[in-house]
Homo-oligomer: A and B are copies of this chain.
């Protein structure tokens, strides 16, 4: 199980550099497929997972939405509009101390956490007000 560096994996990494807005797997695929129409979605998914396992990129999981990926070290949180489903960046320090605060773990080894703030974005909020 020694990971290899393939053309496709390189393309995935490059795509993540180009698209620096924590893209979804689909967005990564769509970016690559423009130039290299033969790459498949499955390969993009497999390489993203692989790069996460190699600890080279970061996966940000969001309930009820596609996961987002980022070149390692830009660990941040997201706002999610529960009306339109859009994801927004949240300028807030990553809460590392949180993981140390947790006790009573009974042998559970913490590797990270996922935090998403839910709400209603200003656009959807405006629409709602106009309709009432």
Contacts and interface: CB of A to CB of B under 8 A. Distances in A.
Identical chains in the assembly: 2
Interface residues of A, number: 35
Interface string A103-130: 0111111111111111111100100000
User: Secondary structure at chain A's binding surface: helix, strand, loop or mixed?
Assistant: mixed
Contact of A111 (B99, B102, B119): B119
Interface of A: 61-64, 67, 79, 81-82, 88, 90-92, 99, 101-102, 104-122, 125
Contacts of A115: 113-115
A92 B102 contact: yes
Contacts of A113: 115-118
Contacts of A62: 63
A91 B104 CA distance: 7
A125 B118 CA distance: 32
Given A61-B63, A104-B91, A99 B117 contact: yes
Given A82-B111, A113-B116, 15 more contacts: A61-B63, A79-B105, A81-B108, A88-B108, A92-B102, A99-B117, A106-B122, A108-B120, A109-B120, A110-B118, A111-B118, A111-B119, A111-B120, A113-B118, A114-B116
